[in-house]
Structure 1
Amino acid sequence: MGFRPVDVSNKFETIRTAKAEGKIYLSPESVEMIKNNQVPKGDVLSASQMAGMLGVKRTADILPFCHNIMIDHVVVNTQLQEDGVYVTAEVKCIGRTGVEMEALTAVSAALLNVYDMLKAFDKNMVIGDIKLLEKRGGKSDYEEDLSGLRCAVITLSDTCSKGEAEDRSGKTAIDIIQNEFGGEVVHYKILPDDKDLIVKELKDLSDRVDIIFTTGGTGFSKRDVTPEATKEVIRKEMIGFSEAMRIVGIRFTPKSLLSRGVCGIIGDATLIVNLPGSTGGVKDNIRLVAPLLKHAIRMAKGEKKH
């Protein structure tokens, strides 16, 4: 079995924070030595703070599945208590992955430094109670699946509608919707690049399904009319979704800027999401927007999430 870190390339860059704590239990004599600054190696509390900060920076070197990330802020506090040293660490970054492991490593490194500075004098030290206190940012703050939602997938392609080519993009969309996000695809159809037919299909599905995913027809040819058909039927455009799909898409291929895909709301609260015709574009864009679609539906209905 191979090992690999999680692929975070299609995640949003957000502010990530994490806070952790831990403690090393010392003998009364060791506590007095720290209090009176009698440890030969120097100031235990200050040195352990520095060790914690260095631990944050070297986390990816120690733990094989941690990503190299740019740390924006770190605070390590060491507090002398009557039975030992209590350590907290708070780490912050703007990135695509969390910093909880960095905070836990900071606490661990600080506690190990206390141990190292006192090992000649205290043979019964115990490191314990290391735990994550909180983490914020990333998908845990906003992500939802598509369970309980009825979805439609419409592939728009002249060649596929004639049976001259296999519909790979639509089948890819169905697979991701159902197997990765738990949505139910209740309608699947292949249509030619005909604006009137597309408009009719979208109107027929309005309020019968929760989300309509279209694939294809978002390019520059005369027959690429999916965005025009979508704009004709939606009552409000979800500009942020289509902008994000293009902006994030350029991480994978500059060709994402050639997509004219539109996202919007038809009827009461049915969402339409135009996806490109490539399987790669379908994968990247569904994974990008799917975690926010339930919240978008609630907003369209005037509901609030509590």
Structure 2
Amino acid sequence: MGMIDVGDKPESLRSAIAQAVLEFDNSIYESIKDGNSPKGNIFEIARIAGTMGAKKTFDLIPYCHPIPIDDISVELNIESNQIKIEVRVKSVWNTGVEMEALTGATIAALSVYDILKPLKSSLSINNIEILEKKGGIGEFKEDFKENLYAVVLTISDSRSKDQDKSGRLIVDVLNKYGFTMVEYKIIPDDLETIEKELRYFSDSNKKKVDMIITTGGTGASPRDVTPEATRKTLDKEISGIVENLRHYGQKRTPLSMLSRGVAGIRGKTLIVNLPGSALAVSQSLNALFPGVIHIFKIISGQQTRHHHDQQDKQQQK
């Protein structure tokens, strides 16, 4: 038990808004309505305290990670017998920022409590809660109108299915994301064989295949020919997919840059090359899903303007 390992979670934009409400006797409303108090300006002190509280969360809460915070804002509203404090925190990182927002709101409320004590002892802090939480890979999970079908090809001259941890790992993740498996097989490191299999499953009229994932044959040895075979089959190469996989992997091992995998579309089938090792495959799948699923909406023509509007709003925050 203890701090949760978030090292393999992909970075994404995350934000949270927390609220704390300080209640006071309305007899002091006139004295503080403009933010004044015996110890100073309520608004200034709350903003400084809320900002410091959010930044120091990992020092105060034992199992919180020290995270890079991109923005903190603290807003106060004084009503007849309440001061509502809202703290918004934003970060691009592996885990959420709700604890930072909650801590900022709490510390801000405690600081306001402290400076109002000389005016009235009947003060209370209530309703410390999260008002909004956004970000993380969960926001990119999409409901697809049609069933998705996949093929997994392990490229190996010597590996059997009993030994194939990488291929079985891909199958498990595809099942998790709702794909139906059309085929999972092991084929040799042979350029013509790989090309033939990719064309067969992409062009098959018997069963549509939305995605083919290969594992193995992406290195620099003489027998590693998966990228060459894949390129010969593609109608459109999508370099951003494998750039993202290598970028994600490079942060975890310096060997990721040696992978030569490619990705792209043949017809209406997405083909992605993954490395051969189980660890590299696990990391690649973390980077690949769920974001890659959106491409099937593009291929099928289901993409809507609503999605672009959502993306624009997310980037502006």
Cα separation, partners in 2 of 1:152 and 1:65, compared to 1, 3 Å: farther
| Structure 1 residue 6: Cα displacement | 4.7
Residues 151-160 or 140-149, more deviating:
140-149
| Structure 1 residue 148: Cα displacement | 3.9
Partner residue in 1 for 2:224: 224
Partner residue in 1 for 2:314: none
SS state at 1:107 partner: helix
Alignment of 1:158 onto 2:157: yes
Partner residue in 2 for 1:171: 168
Partner residue in 1 for 2:60: 62
Cα separation, partners in 2 of 1:19 and 1:222, compared to 1, 3 Å: same
| Structure 1 residue 122: Cα displacement | 3.7
Taking structure 2 as the reference length, the TM-score comes to: 0.85
Where does structure 2 lack aligned partners over 5 or more consecutive residues? 307-317
Partner residue in 2 for 1:236: 236
Is the contact made by 1:145 and 1:290 (CA closer than 8 Å) also made in structure 2? no
| Structure 1 residue 159: Cα displacement | 1.3
Cα separation, partners in 2 of 1:36 and 1:280, compared to 1, 3 Å: closer
Taking structure 1 as the reference length, the TM-score comes to: 0.88
Is the contact made by 2:18 and 2:105 (CA closer than 8 Å) also made in structure 1? yes
Residues 30-39 or 287-296, more deviating:
30-39
Cα separation, partners in 2 of 1:7 and 1:90, compared to 1, 3 Å: same
**Aligned 1:84-163 pairs, distance under 5 A:** 84-119=82-117, 122-144=120-142, 148-160=147-159
Is the contact made by 1:145 and 1:182 (CA closer than 8 Å) also made in structure 2? no
Partner residue in 1 for 2:311: none
SS state at 1:16 partner: strand
SS state at 1:153 partner: strand
Partner residue in 1 for 2:181: 185
Is the contact made by 1:263 and 1:274 (CA closer than 8 Å) also made in structure 2? yes
| Structure 1 residue 145: Cα displacement | 8.1
Partner residue in 2 for 1:252: 252
Where does structure 1 lack aligned partners over 5 or more consecutive residues? none
Is the contact made by 1:145 and 1:183 (CA closer than 8 Å) also made in structure 2? no
Number of residues paired by the alignment?
Answer: 300
Q: Distance in 2 between matches of 1:197 and 1:211?
A: 18
Cα separation, partners in 2 of 1:66 and 1:234, compared to 1, 3 Å: same
Per-residue CA deviations over 1:22-43 (Å, capped at 9, x if unaligned) read: 3211102333443487744333
Alignment of 1:279 onto 2:275: no
Alignment of 1:295 onto 2:294: yes
State the identity as a percent. 41
1:200 to 196, 200, 207: 196
Partner residue in 2 for 1:264: 264
AA matched with 2:297: R
Per-residue CA deviations over 1:85-143 (Å, capped at 9, x if unaligned) read: 12122222333333232222211211122223334654443322333333444324423
| Structure 1 residue 72: Cα displacement | 2.4
Q: Distance in 2 between matches of 1:36 and 1:128?
A: 22
Is the contact made by 2:227 and 2:260 (CA closer than 8 Å) also made in structure 1? yes
Cα separation, partners in 2 of 1:276 and 1:38, compared to 1, 3 Å: closer
Q: Distance in 2 between matches of 1:188 and 1:87?
A: 55
Regions of 4+ moved over 6 Å: none
Q: Distance in 1 between matches of 2:86 and 2:282?
A: 40
Is the contact made by 1:16 and 1:98 (CA closer than 8 Å) also made in structure 2? yes
RMSD (Å) for aligned C-alpha atoms: 2.5
Is the contact made by 1:20 and 1:132 (CA closer than 8 Å) also made in structure 2? yes
Cα separation, partners in 2 of 1:145 and 1:178, compared to 1, 3 Å: farther
AA matched with 1:278: S
